[in-house]
Amino acid sequence: MNLQLIQSELSKILPYRDLYLQAMNRQIRFNACHERGWSTLYMFMLDGLPIGYAAIKGKNELSDRDCIFEFFLLPAQRKLASLAFQELVKVSQATYIECQSNDGFITPLLYEFAEQIRTEVILFEDQQVTDLKIPDVTFRPYNDDDKVFEHQSEPPGDYVLVWNNRVVATGGFLLHYNRPFADLYMEVQLEHRGKGYGSYLLQEVKKACYLAGRVPAARCNLGNKASRACLEKAGMRVCGFVLEGLAKK
């Protein structure tokens, strides 16, 4: 048995990544790293035949290649996962391993090959249709002449909530994730928080997301209890966490 790891190109690993995405069937947090040229890719070869791939990105800087974040082997070769991952850590000289806890391919390897594992990000998927209502509030697309409040964390979105002729919340969904998934985001004006506007806005953005042929997903920081409550009230549920650890040497 001759197992090799060779640096590769996106076009060559795409057939295997398509299988990975189909098996995952959920939003991939770092999907854009491939499309934007922020990843270095490796192909696993067994006796001269390709059996899977791995991807490395920068943990803190885009130009770095110090963090393993994707790993996939074909079903018949998954018994070689530990051996292949060990070779990956050795060849790539990666300092970090980062993954989604709902990724069954790499998560067990994170616990085997990393230490000081921690998380800061919660992942959400859509769970149910909600029927939230708020009187005297209008949900509609953003207009160029809308006067939008100063945002603190998110960009102004493609949709707004209007109360008393004032924009009190904005939101939308981002499309740089793997199809058919999209990432929800929103921000409520500081003085109008705690009134249910955020959850209502997300509920309506979810509808717009489906009409665009996308499946809503979301994320928030572990310590952001307000955002988590808002997402859950809008029918989203926790489906995982972004895990990170130091690669054992």
Q: Is the pLDDT of residue 92 over 90?
A: yes
Which is it for the CA torsion 88, 101, 33, 64, positive or negative?
negative
Terminal Cα distance for the chain, rounded: 25
Task: Say if residue 37's pLDDT is above 90.
Answer: yes
159, 174 Cβ separation under 8 angstroms: no
Measured in whole angstroms, how far is the alpha carbon of residue 110 from the centre of its chain? 17
d(CA 135, CA 198): 14
**pLDDT above 90 for 152:** no
What confidence tens digit (pLDDT) does each residue in 103-132 have? 999 999 999 999 999 999 999 999 999 999
pLDDT tens-digit series, residues 167-204:
999 999 999 999 999 999 999 999 999 999 999 999 99
Helices 225-233/197-211 angle, 10° precision? 60
pLDDT greater than 90 at residue 1: no
pLDDT at residue 9 is higher than 90? yes
Residue 243: its pLDDT value, please?
98
Q: Which of 191, 173, 190 is nearest to 231 (CA)?
A: 173
Structure tokens at 170: 């904005």
Give 217-243 pLDDT, tens digit per residue: 999 999 999 999 999 999 999 999 999
